[in-house]
Each structure stands twice: as C-alpha cells, then as structure tokens.
Amino acid sequence: MLVSVIIKIIFFRCNKYFVECKENVEDFWSHGIMWPSKVLAEILVNATTSKSYLISLFYIRGEIFQSKTPPTTSVTREM
C-alpha cells in the first residue's frame, strides 16, 4: 500500500511538471515567440561558432564521417 501511495505522488508531481511546461510553451507561442530567449541565445552562439566547420559524410549507413574545424589560436591540451 505504501508503494502505491509513493507511485501516485511521483506520478502527480511529474504530471504537474509537464502540464506547467506545456502551459509555458503555449504562452510563448501565443505571444508569437517560437523559442525562449535562453534557447535563442544558445542557438546564436552555436551558429556563430560553427560557421567555419565542415562536416562530410562518406558512408551513409555507418560511422564514417569527417569533421574539419578551423584552427584556433588558443592553447590546446591532449588528454
């Protein structure tokens, strides 16, 4: 009986969290905002840093691909 009570509590808390997330997304959409500002900032940073990256796919079914990144002026360390 105690286990079922714990499961119900966890379920309702998770359900409440996801309902709140859904309402937040719908609120953004109703104001014409597709992404929150935090996500937009992250997308912008990633887009500006990856402009000079080149990704080439050599074999469609497998793990063979090549990624070329621009040379950096910072010191790199090997692990």
The 10s digit of each residue's pLDDT in 40-77 is 888 888 887 777 776 666 666 666 656 666 665 554 44
Q: Whole domain around residue 46: which residue ranges?
A: 2-68
11 in any annotated domain:
yes
Is residue 34 pLDDT above 60, yes or no?
yes
74 in any annotated domain:
no
Q: What is the pTM of this model?
A: 0.45
* Token code pair at residue 2: 């105690």
77 in any annotated domain:
no
Which secondary structure element, helix H or strand E, spans residue 57, and what is its range? strand 54-57
How far apart CA 27 and CA 41 sit, in angstroms, is 19
Q: What is the largest CA-CA distance in the chain?
A: 63
Mean pLDDT of the chain: 78
Q: How many CA atoms lie within 13 A of 34 on its CB side?
A: 3
Q: How many CA atoms lie within 13 A of 46 on its CB side?
A: 6
78 in any annotated domain:
no
